[in-house]
Chain A
Amino acid sequence: MTHPRHRLDELIHTPVRFSLMAALAAAEKVEFRLLRDTLEVSDSLLSKHIGVLEEAGYLTVDKGYVGKRPRTWLAITEQGKAAFEGHYATLRTIGQSALRDGVERIES
């Protein structure tokens, strides 16, 4: 169990969830519609991913109104931030070791 892939978090490994976590980590709160447009996914798909991450305690969902318009705000939790940062670091490690292996193969 020494390969870095064992440290990857299965919950946030899908591209949509990983990007969602990255987007949330960049701010205190982000509105649902902006996330949907940023990630270029449908409302239902985004809701599904949000449900999984909320259940894992990685994000919180806050529903409210601005005037008469309903709004849904999402925020990353401390647990989610730690999971995202760990996953991000592991992906970088894998990327760098793959690059190193490639260079060594070309040189030999």
Chain B
Amino acid sequence: MSEDLIRGAEDAAARVRRAARWYGWFLFGFAAFTVAWDTLVPLATGTAYAIVIALSTMVLIYVAGRWQRNQAVRPHTSNWWMWPWAGLTVVLCGFLGPRLFGDRPLVWLACGVVTAVPVLIEAVLVLRRLR
């Protein structure tokens, strides 16, 4: 009896954890967005290019927010990764980049990848935790 109860409860918990895995994929998406943003924005020259980037960013944020709200499970989250992500964004893309990187897309791409590392680590941890 107690074994059946426990098994049933563990099955239910496992199903909820599986339904919460969207958050890991969401973080992967956010990491990809970080790389794209850090690569494309510094190279923006001209108003049209800047408008396209700004509009696509707004659309992306809207779609991601809507998708997130539609998920049936909100997992336990940890926000530790936001601090290194924000720090790297400010230092690499806001301070060092404009002074050292110039118009070299590959350097900005590398900068984006480095900035996305904390997000990617959290994404992997989330997916491992929610197995």
* Chain A contacts to B: CB under 8 angstroms: 15, 18-31, 33-34, 38-39, 66, 73, 88, 91-92, 94-95, 98
Contact = CB atoms under 8 A, between A and B. Distances in A.
10 contacts: A19-B8, A19-B11, A22-B13, A27-B74, A28-B74, A29-B73, A38-B12, A39-B12, A66-B70, A95-B3
Given A25-B13, A26-B16, A31 B73 contact: yes
A91 B16 contact: no
A98 B5 CA distance: 15
Interface in B1-38: 2-6, 8-17, 19-20
Main secondary structure of the interface of A (DSSP, over half): helix
A20 B13 CA distance: 8
A94 B20 CA distance: 31
Contact of A23 (B2, B12, B74): B12
Contacts of B72: 30-31, 33-34
Contacts of B9: 18-19, 21-23, 88
B128 interface: no
Interface residues of B, number: 25
A91 B10 CA distance: 13
A7 to B, nearest CB: 13
Given A34-B72, A95-B3, A27 B20 contact: yes
Contacts of B2: 91-92, 94-95, 98
Given A18-B5, A38-B16, A30 B73 contact: yes
| A-B pairs with lowest CB-CB distance, top 3 | A22-B9, A34-B72, A31-B72
Contacts of A30: 16, 72-74
